[in-house]
Chain A
């Protein structure tokens, strides 16, 4: 490589970022807490948008309610901020009518797997051709730190002051069992893998799901031994194990300092998508004969 010899230099203060075209930069700084992983995953999504061969006008983001749900408002796309738990059926309607859109649901663990759990499993069952990025901060963050379907057993939150008496969902196992074509889990620290997973999701036809674990310092973190955002990122660095072939039934998240966190691209398989099946059904039934009333 014959690149010219160069020298570095001190930091340069500027006013704009090369990726500002993909975001609504006038709204920055964003509302998330210092160290929140949502902004990192937003950056990875933007990186995937940049790398994707799909035209930006065809990229659509649908989000629900919660901290992660705010991502759609920061993206310079056709974006939709919808009601709590209902981003997935909204995205389904959008995507059936215009299958050439690349629809990505981008929302939190409470929104997608607690109140939205029913829609999550049915979309996976149908293999709806959408991407779903679920940021899992192990609680309902936006509303101040209540427990949800992914809060680990024993964890303290404002609604589990004596420790959570509920066992959480093992999300990759759930979504895979429901029939998803692509299932992956990474953490906010594994940024490059997150971006590559999103890129892969945009390529495939079928229900593509990514869970990204994130710090949530003022609520979950504060009560469960990760008071600084960096504490949880260090936990990810020290205890994450990459195992693409993991037995999904064994990869629950406890968030205990001594317990491993299994991450990886677990499932990447193919079967006809909902849109493909609906399209074929429509093509097969095009007759001009209406049945008798």
Chain B
């Protein structure tokens, strides 16, 4: 690769003009990110609300089912099943070892 900025792959005219050397992802039009699957142990849940409050993409909600303690465990919102990014926030913020995620590949 020579030093000519306009010939470096992925460099835009605008970024060169502003004096910044930035790069654009080659596949910017089709970004990929991790996908996760949510696993729940319903009898351990105490409905503290942390998992669905602090889930960054906000894909969890309270379910209608209650466990033996009378608590509603969480569930994935309908239509948001592919939106889990496997970030693990629910898993970390749950005080009960009642929820975790596993990697399920990446988006296509």
Contact = CB atoms under 8 A, between A and B. Distances in A.
B38 A5 contact: no
Interface residues of B, number: 43
Contacts of A16: 41
A168 interface: no
Nearest to A22: B97
Chain A interface extent, by class: 35 or more
Is the contact region of chain B dominated by helix, strand, or loop, or is it mixed? mixed
Contacts of A14: 39-41
Interface in A93-143: none
A225 interface: no
A11 B74 contact: yes
Contact of A11 (B39, B48, B54, B91): B39
A73 interface: no
Given A17-B100, A35-B46, A10 B94 contact: no
Contacts of B92: 40, 43-44, 47, 191-192, 195
9 contacts: A3-B105, A8-B36, A8-B104, A11-B40, A19-B100, A28-B96, A29-B43, A39-B97, A195-B92
Interface of A: 1, 3-20, 23, 25, 28-30, 32-40, 42-44, 47, 189, 191-192, 195, 229-230, 233
Interface of B: 32, 34-44, 46-50, 53-54, 69, 71, 74-76, 81-84, 91-98, 100, 103-108
